[in-house]
A and B are shown apart, each in its own frame.
Chain A
Amino acid sequence: MGTIQLKKVRKAFGESIIIPGADLDIKHGEFIVFVGPSGCGKSTLLRMIAGLEDLTSGEILIDGKDCSDAAPASRGLSMVFQSYALYPHMSVRNNIAFGLKMAGETPEQIAPKVAKAAETLNLTEYLDRKPGQLSGGQRQRVAIGRAIVRNPSGFLFDEPLSNLDAALRVNMRIFIMQLHKDLGATMVYVTHDQVEAMTMADRIVVLNRGNIEQVGSPLELYNKPNSKFVAGFIGSPKMNFIEGSIAAKHKAKTIGVRPEHIDIVSGKGEWQGKILLTEHLGSDSFLHIDAGDAGRFVVRAPGEFAGKPGDSISLKPDAARIHKFDAQDLSIR
């Protein structure tokens, strides 16, 4: 089992309130991603679930049991840290075995478990090395090995990929998703990278200044954001926001259109503009456009798009895909 429930979880350091009150139900086997800009409280929330931070008020239930004041090790959760947090003077073997040793298991019980974890993670030949002799990706795998060897009911990941280079990050992302599929365990994953959130999550929890803005599947958040904040945070490149008279025509304070939902048309479109800059990615081209009244925004064009900076261009947004927001930045539906 691996259900985690947060009930009115609140965290304050003296006067400053980090988490005003969070409610969340995590089902068994779910891959949940906490995403938000830095300082939004996502890591604090994860550390509270782990038991590394005290709750100011509220309850955390793990497998239905109140764990609000339980010691971290007794919650049946494992954590992978951003800096890996390996013990530098211990060999890889002892790093992985430390938790089992602390749990009072005998060397005979520990050895096969470590061997199995090392095999899963391709670490068998590095077992006698010290963390200092490993590359970043290998260290990350040791940290994951330390987490899986205890056979926890849930895994907590605190921005585990942010110290890796881009290529390795993609590999590890797929590796963690595969691990989730194989183990079937609950995983809570914190990141500030919305691409990681979109690709990995069953459900995404978007946090903004300690508040849970929206919880939903990646496509729900992409198609039906609750607020301007979620709309701007999910999707890459970012959604274009237009205010003023154009938004007023849609009876909204602000309207938002994603770069991929604007067509380039020949003849007269809805908006006229001038190309300022083009970014060619091969598969796509992103055009930065100055559209006079509508302001500056980004449009996705096909990879072979031939327009050059300075060219005039006509645009037509997909009417069904225009998001409308009111004065409180909430969605109008």
Chain B
Amino acid sequence: MATNQSRAIGKLALAPSLIVLSAWAFVPLALTIYFAFLRYNLQDPDNTSWFGLSNFYYFLNDPYFVKDFINTILLVGSTIILTITGGVGLAILLDQPFWGRGIVRLLMISPFFIMPTVSSLVWKNLIMHPVFGLFAGIQRFFGSTEPIDWFGHYPLISVIIIVTWQWLPYATLILLTAMQSLDGEQKDAAAMDGAPPLSYFRYIVLPHLSRPITVVILIETIFLLNIFAEIKVTSVGGFAGNLTYLVFSQLNDANDVGAAAAGGIIAVILANIVSYFLVRIVGKNLEG
């Protein structure tokens, strides 16, 4: 349908937004790359000079780098595992007919709408606080005199709990819609074939959910690599920081613009490596 003329007009019409969008993406990236090669500390801004690859060298050799890299992997990995298993279970439950299902479904989604900073504050001060927290109250109710200091003793697990709470609704929502698209006659056919509930889940439901599960893994990985508010607000960055937090602390605590920029570049490269493999795996799964 498109003639050469209409195509040219189309390109012309798209040009302004394309230019703005690429400038939007390109300028910060270009600046970051530029800063990454500079010796540039805000405590000594006059003494700015070319620094070669030293920023990268120092970032990679930072005592926190390996620890925060492992934290990142642990945070992303365990949150994905927990949200997928929890999401599959909840999706099956919410797919059953019961009284008030509509309201429960609506409530189920709500954690996803709460800002990470707000929910982190609530978790920190109202739920996991060793003195005023709900968990501590429950422990005292059962006779414990020394409630767990979650953020003090289990900082990474605490962050994982908060992030899982936030992302479980997303996984549930995607998997629930997938459950609803499962053909009812297939369930009947499985019943005629004599498949007990567990086999029905294993051979019919789980394969049906494999695509939405890969989509959830992909989307969650992209977002969970960048978790920041939960770590910053609960002040566990020193123990459970991830790469995003390390970049932040280079800039905020050390005032080192160059090292922070180099860390940002490294994080981008790592994220690209991860997403390259993920997209390949997911793509393979989506074709089949």
| A73 and B203 within 8 A (CB) | no
Is there contact, CB below 8 Å, between B192 and A99?
yes
Instruction: Enumerate chain B residues within 8 angstroms of A78, measured Cβ to Cβ.
Output: 192
What interface size band does chain B fall in?
10 to 19
Q: Can you sample 25 A-B contacts with CB below 8 Å?
A: A71-B191, A71-B194, A72-B188, A73-B193, A73-B194, A73-B195, A79-B188, A79-B192, A82-B185, A85-B183, A85-B188, A85-B189, A87-B186, A87-B190, A87-B204, A87-B207, A88-B208, A98-B193, A98-B195, A98-B203, A99-B193, A102-B193, A102-B196, A103-B194, A146-B193
B225 to chain A, nearest CB (A): 30
Residues A57-95 near B (CB distance < 8 A): 71-74, 77-79, 81-83, 85-90
Inter-chain CA distance A74–B191, complex, in Å, is 10
Q: How far is the CA of A90 from the CA of B190 in the complex (A)?
A: 13
Task: Among B185, B199, B207, point to the contact of A89 (Cβ < 8 A).
Answer: B207
Given A83-B185, A87-B203, are A51 and B191 neighbors across the interface (CB < 8 Å)? Answer: yes
A50 within 8 A of B: yes
Nearest 6 pairs between A and B by C-beta?
A73-B194, A99-B193, A85-B185, A85-B189, A89-B207, A102-B194
Instruction: Report the minimum CB–CB distance from A99 to chain B (whole Å).
Output: 4
Q: Does A52 contact B (CB under 8 A)?
A: yes
What's the nearest-Cβ distance from chain B to residue A14, in Å?
Answer: 14
Can you list, as one digit per residue, whether each of A124-141 has a CB less than 8 Å from chain B (1) or not (0)?
000000000000000000
A102 and B195 in contact, given A85-B183, A89-B207, A89-B208 (Cβ under 8 angstroms): yes
A147: nearest residue on chain B (CB-CB)? B192
* A50-B192 contact given A82-B185, A85-B183, A85-B185, CB 8 Å threshold: yes
Nearest-neighbor residue (CB-CB) of B204 within chain A: A87
Mark B residues whose CB is within 8 Å of A.
183, 185-186, 188-196, 199, 203-204, 207-208, 210, 288
Beyond A71-B194, A74-B194, list 11 extra A-B contacts (CB 8 Å).
A50-B188, A52-B192, A72-B192, A81-B188, A81-B189, A82-B185, A83-B185, A86-B189, A87-B204, A102-B194, A146-B189
- Measured in the bound complex, the distance between the Cα atoms of B188 and A99 in whole Å is 12
- Roughly how many angstroms separate A278 CA and B288 CA in the complex, as a whole number? 53
Contact (Cβ within 8 A) A52 B193 = no
> Contact size class for A?
20 to 34
Per-residue B-contact encoding for A32-59, CB less than 8 Å = 1, 0 else? 0000000000000001001110000000
| Complex alpha-carbon distance, A72 and B192, angstroms | 5
The interface residues of chain B lying within 8 Å CB-to-CB of A103 are: 194
Given A89-B207, A98-B203, A102-B199, A81:B193 Cβ within 8 A? no
Chain A: residues with CB nearer than 8 A to chain B?
A: 47, 50-52, 71-74, 77-79, 81-83, 85-90, 98-99, 102-103, 146
Say which residue of B183, B191, B203, B210 sits within 8 Å of A72 (CB atoms). Answer: B191
Contact B195 A52 (CB under 8 A): no
Chain B neighbourhood of A90, CB < 8 A: 203, 207
Q: A52-B188, A79-B189, A85-B189 are in contact. Are A99 and B204 (CB under 8 A)?
A: no
Complexed CA–CA distance, A88 and B182 (Å): 11
CA A199 – CA B195 in complex, angstroms? 35
B110 CB to closest chain A CB (Å) equals 32
**Bound Cα distance A178, B287 (Å):** 39
Tell me whether A83 and B195 are in contact (CB under 8 A): no
A74 to B194, CA, bound (A): 8
A152: nearest residue on chain B (CB-CB)?
B192
Tell me if A99 and B194 are in contact (CB < 8 A). Answer: yes
**Whole-angstrom distance between the Cβ of B218 and the nearest chain A Cβ:** 20
Instruction: Tell me the minimal C-beta distance from A171 to chain B in angstroms.
Output: 23
